[in-house]
Structure 1
């Protein structure tokens, strides 16, 4: 990108109250049928508009047309039974009722391309689209068919690659894969996780991002983070592997986390999307706080490879709080941009 310190959100934005219950993660839709389809598209337009007005440089859909960042993609695949559900442990953190893989997983048509075309029509700025990562997908399912986490993840990676190529053809400039599971299953990451992620991104000309976070600000995540001690060093496991990978950009948490900032040095040479906005708090950062976070990482990442962003998605927040946090992100980046130039 030609802009120094291009700003972006990582994933979701709050949905309008007329579309789903506000300030609730994975809230059911309040519309159905044709009204739901129209409401989703209207919400996507509003999300693009609020990002532009906040001053962000890269615009995303804010995940307005999906209920859940993983299962919305899975719902469109064959081989997965949403009626036959089982309770599984998600990322070794909390129990959830999930659908079951009962046969070969297949993608019969694109899931997000029409939405991506609608977003492309909203702005001349670069646009980014998030997809679930293969390892995080398999951690959100019960498998009764493949009998191998690696094999199922590889199948998902192939389907994600098909989707990503269609998104690229629709005008998406940056494709992000969300892999919070990379912060938990370190042996899998080493043995096949990075290789499978590369399969999902294979052959793309669009910039590729992997987002690895400590989760939304929900109780299961905050309780887990309270057990991690004074330093969160989980990134130490995946960063050296990702530095050698074909993925262009790594997205990480920084502001109000206990991640030692020097771990970013392990990614030297990659683009780094640094979270300068805390999504687990209603407190709105000042531009100077954002600038301070960005200054703190500059010894470890070249300025032309730094992308200021949010720590994670903002779906559970109030819309005005999310808006003001984006305004602060853009203003804080502008402070540091001016200092660098």
Structure 2
């Protein structure tokens, strides 16, 4: 029988009460010094390790903690610092580290994008002109700390070289071998120093192996791991994959490493089928990812135990580590403190802490220990949730069962709608607008807390929100923006706000997860059938419109973003749930139009992040994602202008699907990679209204008029000026008031500069 142990791949960094976020932001604000930041983050880091040890996890990862982002950590460890930052070599100062992530007065931040198909964001390494150097051995420092301070023989975690390079930018892909050759000696040095320290195992994360890699990719990977194998004598490598099934399973299984980790949750059965067909090398260790590292539901322990039993049989005596499907970075810390949820729902939850318990239970059961009572508790919890009335709304199920009968196309095509909308709105050339939200100041957050705690009445809070709306309608008019927004001051989060007003959602009090940097989000839980209850945004939007003669956009979050930014029930397909959300949102769109709001923005910033990691699976997802959006927006009149917003670049490969959304205007977040997206429009025509974000809202710096003029000029080389809008690249919720006003003034000035030139040319 196989030797079976429990292991983990990574733990949430943020702390049970977001202590991590608070410490980092206090440092940025100058409220604490660097030494105090180090002390506070060390306490969180050691607490995470101790918790895993106390829970009985046998293989505990170290170096999964970060001060911002693990890819930025890897870049700084190898001296990958863009030239625009004043870096002189050696260990990277925190000021430079955070400058790369957030920008500063001297230099713009590096690009930020999604970590595979999750809602975590990483800082994209820039390799152009870089000669890598080893600045500090982070895994070694983490290993020593755990051993010296807690007596834990941790397993250091290192982002794999090939994954790191494939997620980087600024090098010629035709010369990738040269880039590998420049980094590989540094990786070998890190591993050799760990070996000399007496480390037994290292976890090297190569999630790139679950994407659509090709034979050339495989050759590069083989070269890397053959070099590692030749260098090491006593240090064992656990090659860890996650987020799906590996490509080229036989070749990956044959790599000269001592262990391989596979995801048996999100692999759609492909990893398991590969084991059945090809077996597994008995001399290696298999990391069996059988607990979902990305969702928050209790595991069906009976089903996962059966899966684990088959895996153990298939590997025929090889050592097996029972582990999550991925790092637990993507789930909240603990469900223990969720005392306000209905017991039926709370009992069905498992956050990071509870998942550790499940790992230990499965390990014990597979090793022959008696855990029947614990399995029964889990079984009863899941059964109670399944029988809940919230999961059995027949009116919702019936509509989705007949989704083909629902309207999903506008009455007329864009060319006809455009003429009608131009006649109705009479907007200037290159109209200006914003994406939706304005700064959520300390005063606004305090007012919301007073209302939630019952210290303010709903009418008192409502009047406060109206004051904010009045203030910012006035500011927008004074700045000279053409299409206004009400500012979303009543909303904590663009998904949570709608979930609180729709049936089928629940909300935690402490279910925070890291999105990017110190930015944490508290995803809603879609636990039941989703249904419309009553209008959600009409009151505030109609009030804002009453204050101005300029158009005010209604602001909604789209069905795919609500889906992708929530923890979704696992008993229905994501496609099915998306249609439920779409049909509920359609009623809100219709309510806004009926109330006289005829510019309506339905944001889909998360559409692309939902793409499957394998291109062969893209079309199916894109087809139902586009359908869900159109179900939400297709019943309005021709003169009602539908806007949408999306995040980040790399849209060239889904441009047909973006066009198929049939939104009258799309705005795209692109300021950190503006040129790359503009280049994609040189190859692909976009025939609808579009605004490419002309400044980066993730940085506190105020961009100059000339910077924005340069971005507009570049975009208008490939896009129709008559269809072009000018806007920031995302909402302004996280920015300060003065920097927001100053940036928008410059944005309007840039637009006016182009309008003047246009008038002169056409006189």
| TM-score above 0.5 | yes
Q: How does 1:133-172 map to 2 (within 5 A)?
A: 133-144=558-569, 147-172=572-597
Q: Aligned to 1:18, which of 421, 443, 449?
A: 443
Q: What stretches of structure 1 move > 6 A for 4+ residues in a row? A: 84-91
User: How big is the shift at 1:171?
Assistant: 2.2
Q: Does the C-alpha gap of structure 1 residues 297 and 203 become closer, same or farther in structure 2, counting only changes over 3 Å?
A: same
Q: SS of 2:497's equivalent?
A: helix
Equivalent-residue separation in structure 1 for 2:486 and 2:708 (angstroms): 23
Contact in 1 for aligned 2:697/2:731 (Cα 8 Å): yes
Give the structure 2 partner of residue 66 of structure 1: 491
Aligned-residue offset at 1:90: 6.8
Of 173, 178, 183, the match for 2:598: 173
Which region of structure 1 is more displaced relative to structure 2, 181-190 or 50-59?
A: 181-190
State the Cα distance separating 1:211 from its structure 2 match. Answer: 0.7
Aligned match of 1:277 in 662, 684, 695?
A: 695
The alpha-carbon deviation at position 96 of structure 1 amounts to 5.3
User: Are the aligned partners of 2:541 and 2:553 in contact in 1 as well (CA < 8 Å)?
Assistant: no
1:239-285 deviation per Cα after TM superposition (whole angstroms, max 9, x unaligned): 22222442212211233325331223535211002211210122212
Q: List per-residue Cα deviations over 1:210-244 (Å, max 9, x = no partner).
A: 21114xxxxxxxxxxxxxxxxx4x21233222224
Structure 1 residue 98, shift from structure 2 partner: 3.3
Query: CA 1:306 to 1:72, structure 2 compared with 1: closer, same or farther past 3 Å?
Result: same
Name stretches of at least 5 consecutive residues in structure 1 with no aligned partner. 22-26, 215-231
Q: Identify which of structures 1 and 2 has the higher relative contact order when contacts are C-alpha pairs closer than 8 Å and 6+ apart.
A: 1
Cα-to-partner distance string for 1:29-62 (whole Å, 9 max, x where unaligned)? 3443232111111111112111111110000012
Q: For 1:320, which of 726, 733, 738 is the aligned residue?
A: 738
Q: Is the contact made by 1:85 and 1:100 (CA closer than 8 Å) also made in structure 2?
A: no
Question: Separation in 2 of the partners of 1:81 and 1:254?
Answer: 33
- Partner Cα distance (2:609, 2:753) in 1: 35
Give the superposition deviation at 1:86: 6.4
Change (3 A) 1:162 1:146: farther
Q: Give 3-state SS (helix, strand or coil) of 2:712's partner.
A: helix
Displacement of 1:81: 2.3
Is 1:207 paired with 2:641? Answer: yes
CA distance in 2 between partners of 1:184 and 1:245 (Å): 16
Is contact 1:279–1:314 with CA below 8 Å preserved after alignment? yes
Q: Flag the 1:204–1:89 CA change in 2: closer, same or farther, 3 A.
A: farther
2:525–2:568 CA contact under 8 A, matched in 1: yes
Query: TM-score under structure 2 normalisation?
Result: 0.39
Higher mean displacement: 174-183 or 106-115: 174-183
5+ residue gaps in structure 2?
1-421, 612-617
Summarize the Cα distance change of 1:267–1:74 in structure 2 as closer, same or farther, 3 Å threshold.
Answer: farther
Q: Note if contact 2:473-2:544 (Cα within 8 Å) is conserved in structure 1.
A: yes
Q: CA RMSD in A?
A: 2.5
CA contact (8 A) 1:272 1:307 kept: yes
Q: Flag the 1:189–1:289 CA change in 2: closer, same or farther, 3 A.
A: farther
Task: Look up the match of 2:663.
Answer: 247
Quick check: 1:122 aligned with 2:554?
Answer: no
* 1:12/1:272 CA distance change after superposition, 3 Å: same
Cross-structure match for 2:677: 260
User: Between Structure 1 and Structure 2, which shows a larger proportion of strand residues?
Assistant: 1
Contact residue 103 and residue 145 of structure 1 kept, 8 A: no
Counterpart position of 2:503: 78
Bigger proportion of residues as helix: 2
Q: CA deviation at 1:182?
A: 1.8
Which protein is bigger by CA-based radius of gyration? 2
Could you tell me how far apart the structure 1 residues matched to 2:627 and 2:485 are?
Answer: 26
Separation in structure 2 between the aligned mates of residue 143 and residue 255 of structure 1, nearest angstrom: 31
Taking the TM superposition and a 5 Å limit, the aligned residue runs for 1:181-196 are 181-186=606-611, 187=618, 189-196=621-628
Q: Find the aligned partners of 2:570 and 2:503 in 1 and give their Cα distance.
A: 13
